[in-house]
């Protein structure tokens, strides 16, 4: 059983929901990421999604676009991201880490080498936003062989007919995109999410995490009533940007927000 599956199963047995924060690696400084990962884990994160910065983040809103720009300006590369995970693993062997990003930096790194190096660094899963299951075959084999869970997205526009194909390719959990739009958009439709999750659950037993548009304890609680986990990205990244010049304040505020999200979910 993978670290992701184990974590989600144990939460399910306790009747709790997974809190899955997202931050961009290398933002606001290269050496800020590992301390941020520890703060997130200590404040109640069950799984952490770590963004691999990309020059052309087509599915992201302005907040994460700017985070990617800051990280790239700091010189962040896929190699750096993997060493950050490795460093995090020196102290934390429990919290699953999922790398999230776009295909091209992975393709440039080389799929075989990436699968090997990521697994060795202690990465647990991968979300590649612009890699639909139809095109994923060759990557999926390599990631499976390395013990990495490949996590796929389902969108409000995904037809019922298509869900089984995505579920069959998916490992670890499915990521339901709560809205039509980019990350950080504001039009969360809780009832729409509930209905779509009902459909998804009829088709697959994989846990479903919901992301895009969840920004505070209240929205986390509302979505947590229906999902197995909630992903919070832009709200945290915005906070990181706001306190980018004050490391202590940044870590404190990120911890605070994470604890508040945890409380919202556990309520």
Catalytic residues: 49, 60
| 199 part of the interface to other proteins, by CB under 8 A | no
What x-and-dash track marks residues 108-127 binding other proteins by CB under 8 A?
xx------------------
User: Among residues 12, 91, 104, 263, which is the contact residue for other proteins, using CB under 8 A?
Assistant: 104
Subset of residues 122 to 151 that bind other proteins, contact rule: CB under 8 A: 129-132, 134-135
Peptide bond into 228 cis (omega under 30): no
Tell me the C-alpha to C-alpha distance, in Å, between residue 262 and each of 123, 134, 152. 23, 35, 24
At its nearest, how many Å lie between other proteins and the CB of residue 35? 24
Q: Using the CB atoms, write b or e for 16-38: b if 16+ within 10 Å.
A: bbbbbbbbbbbbbbbebbbbbbb
Residue 189 within binding range of other proteins, rule CB under 8 A: no
Interface with other proteins, residue 238, by CB under 8 A: no
**55 to each of 77, 129, 228, 229, how far by Cα in Å?**
11, 14, 32, 29
- Residue 129 CB, shortest distance to other proteins, in Å, is 5
| 159 touches other proteins (CB under 8 A) | yes
Residue 168, interface with other proteins (CB under 8 A)?
Answer: no
DSSP-based three-state secondary structure for 15 = coil
Rounded-to-integer distance, Cα 156 and Cα 126, Å: 21
Question: Cα separation of 219 and 127, whole Å?
Answer: 23
57 scored as a contact of other proteins (CB under 8 A): yes
Q: State which H helix or E strand residue 149 sits in.
A: strand 149-150
Q: Which residues bind other proteins (CB under 8 A)?
A: 54-62, 65, 69, 72, 77-79, 102-109, 129-132, 134-135, 152-159, 162, 166, 177, 180-182, 185
């Amino acid at each position: 059983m993978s670290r992701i599956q184990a974590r989600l199963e144990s939460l399910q047995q306790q009747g709790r929901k997974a809190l899955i924060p997202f931050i961009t690696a290398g933002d606001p400084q290269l050496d800020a990421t590992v301390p941020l990962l520890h703060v997130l884990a200590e404040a109640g994160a069950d799984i952490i999604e770590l963004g691999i910065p990309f020059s052309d983040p087509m599915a992201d809103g302005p907040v994460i676009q700017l985070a990617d720009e800051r990280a790239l300006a700091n010189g962040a590369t896929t190699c750096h991201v993997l060493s950050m995970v490795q460093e995090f693993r020196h102290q934390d062997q429990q919290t699953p880490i999922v790398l999230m990003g776009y295909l091209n930096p992975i393709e440039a790194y080389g799929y075989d080498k990436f699968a090997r190096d990521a697994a060795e660094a202690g990465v647990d899963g991968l979300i590649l936003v612009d890699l639909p299951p139809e095109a994923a075959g060759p990557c999926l084999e390599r990631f499976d062989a390395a013990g990495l869970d490949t996590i796929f997205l389902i969108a409000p526009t995904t037809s019922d007919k298509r869900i089984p194909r995505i579920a069959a390719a998916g490992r670890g959990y499915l990521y339901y995109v709560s809205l039509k739009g980019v990350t950080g958009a504001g039009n969360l439709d809780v009832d729409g999410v509930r209905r779509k999750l009902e459909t998804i659950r009829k088709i697959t037993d994989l846990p479903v995490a919901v992301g895009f548009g969840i920004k505070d304890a209240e929205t986390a609680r509302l979505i947590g009533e229906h999902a197995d986990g909630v992903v919070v990205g832009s709200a945290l990244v915005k906070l990181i940007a706001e306190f980018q010049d004050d490391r202590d304040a940044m870590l404190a505020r990120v911890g605070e927000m994470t604890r508040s999200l945890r409380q919202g979910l556990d309520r």
